Amino acid sequence: MVVLAQGAFFVNVFATSRRLVLALTLIVAAASAQAQADSPEARREAARALSQLMLEMSSPEKMLAGMIAAIKGPMEQQVRQDARLSAAQQSRVLEVLLGEMELFQRETMRETLPQMLEAMSGVYADRFTLAEIADLRRFYVSDLGRKSMSVFIDDMPRMMQPVMSTMTQRMPFMQQRMAAAVKRLRDEGIPLQ
């Protein structure tokens, strides 16, 4: 009876050990698969999909409108302060300048979006793990993520306005500095136009 009990004990221990070994094997295999899945190529692919999603959510047209709105206010302010121009001339100046600026911005955006997508993908692939990229994707497709992106894009003019206003006010000073720098370089014998 003792022999049978000892035998049953060893069979039980053996079966438990086999389950432990199997469980450990599965854990190691899963960890190995996870490590393989989190390769630079896999991160790059996931980052590219995330970047594409973010660009689509941000709506390049809305981004463009936001950038133009951020520039429009300070530009209008500057043109309206020019006492040499009549109201009709001021309106015409704004019409032409804003039209050209919008056209230029559209061309630039169309040209740079593919480069921006690649740059975003590279940054995300370099800075985040595959699991983190997946978490970011889940966030951006969630209601809160969509709202976050929408607020950023919709309120971009308000966020950019202080910067654009300051840049517009400081533009004459910058132009003076650049002219002085070019003069200094010419005085050094460097033939600049």
Helices (H), 81-193: 87-127, 130-141, 143-154, 156-187
> Tens-of-pLDDT digits for all 193 residues of the chain?
444 444 444 444 444 444 444 334 434 434 444 444 799 999 999 999 999 998 888 777 777 777 787 788 888 988 899 999 899 999 999 999 999 988 988 898 888 888 989 999 999 999 999 999 999 999 999 999 999 988 887 887 787 778 777 887 888 888 899 999 999 999 999 988 7
Give dist(CA 30, CA 166) in Å, integer.
Answer: 55
Residue 87's pLDDT is: 93
The per-residue b/e assignment along 119-146, b for 16 or more CB within 10 angstroms, e otherwise, is ebbeebbeebebeebeebbeebeeeebe
pTM of the model: 0.55
Residue 162's pLDDT is: 83
Residue 153's pLDDT is: 79
